[in-house]
Amino acid sequence: MITKEDLATPVKPTWCPGCGDFGIWLAVKQALMQLDAKHEDVVIVYGIGCSGHMCNFVRGYGFEGLHGRPIPVAEGIKLANKKLKVIVVTGDGDTYGEGMNHFISGIRGNHDVTLIVHDNRVYGLTTGQASPTAEKGYKSKSTPTGQIEVPVNPIALAVAQDGSFVARGFSADPQQLIKLIVAGVQHKGFSVIDVLQNCATFNKVNTVTWFKEHTYKLEDEGHDPRDKVAAFTRAIDETRLATGIFYQDEREPYDQDVPGERGVPLVDHDLSEADITRTMNEFL
């Protein structure tokens, strides 16, 4: 079991007061404690953004790399050692902007990775430019006359692309988010958890109050997560944003499907006879 003490770091969060990142941080830690896992069995890969700063506030095995690229790093870690539970914690700019191709590939491959996206509809760390989930007309310093494009709809995209676990949480509802994260990590395959999150400093439109007024829970309306058509119908309804599990099914994750020798994780390769002299000599 992972304890509160295992996860504690001496670093105090640097997020702005009132930021939704605090609620997601709480939920991530609580979920890790509820999972049947040892500390060394979990790796978290972080994106670059305010969201990714969480790497400083959660003690454990982790990697903070390049903006837009945490998903392929996580997939590589899982392929090298499939016994690990691999989680990505990142932002909407990171995932649905520069990282969008990796988002789609991760879903297509059904890599056994849990993706937690802080969806605050802005680029928080770089001071509030509109992100790909910003609504049409949204004014920011990068869109002074209003966002021209329609927003990316990550839930509808994930359902349409045959995602095997598609969910949405809300930073101000950590209890529901804990359940979603635990279910996502337990799910064998790529689990998408988009988390509605307020950016208290730069997004003055999508506030906690705004999200509360525009959301409802799927479980309150008897939604069946095995019903893909119902999941898609709810996903494209942008007037009422649903939270909970939209869709879940069982299919083999990527690491189970890799054929032959390539399917043996690196961690299980016998390296006792490996001779790298020739390779090393090339660099002499």
Ligand X SMILES: Cc1ncc(C[n+]2csc(CCOP(=O)(O)OP(=O)(O)O)c2C)c(N)n1
User: H/E/C letters for each residue in 29-56?
Assistant: HHHHHHCCCCHHHEEEEECCCCHHHHHH
Asked if 202 interacts with ligand SF4 (CB under 6 A), we say: yes
SS3 155: helix
The residue count for binding ligand X (CB under 6 A) is: 21
Q: What is d(CA 108, CA 88) in angstroms, rounded to the nearest whole number?
A: 17
Question: Of ligand SF4, ligand X, none, which one does residue 91 interact with (CB within 5 to 8 Å by kind)?
Answer: ligand X
For the chain, state the CA radius of gyration.
19
Q: Minimum distance from CB of 20 to ligand SF4 (Å)?
A: 7
Residue 137 Ramachandran class (φ > 0 left, ψ -120 to 50 alpha, else beta): left
Q: For 51, how many CA atoms within 13 A lie in the half-sphere containing its CB?
A: 37
Which one of residues 29, 78, 111, 118 is an interface residue with ligand X (CB under 6 A)?
118
Asked if 200 touches ligand SF4 (CB under 6 A), the answer is yes
Q: Cα 95 to the chain's mean position, in Å? A: 8
The 215-217 sheet, strands edge to edge: 61-64, 42-46, 85-91, 113-119, 191-196, 165-170, 241-248, 215-217
Give the number of other CB atoms < 10 A from CB of residue 250. Answer: 10
| Contact window for ligand X (CB under 6 A) among 56-64, 117-125, 181-189, 206-214 | 117-125
Binding mask 120-149 for ligand X (x = CB under 6 A): x-xxxxx----x------------------
Under rule CB under 6 A, residue 124 binds ligand SF4: yes
* Smaller CB separation from ligand SF4, 16 or 33: 16
Of 7, 44, 45, 50, the residue at the interface with ligand SF4 (CB under 6 A) is 50
Binder among 2, 7, 15, 110 for ligand SF4 (CB under 6 A): 15
- Residue 44 interacts with, from ligand X, ligand SF4, none (CB under 5-8 Å by kind): none
Binding site for ligand X (CB under 6 A): 47-51, 66-68, 91-94, 98, 118, 120, 122-126, 131
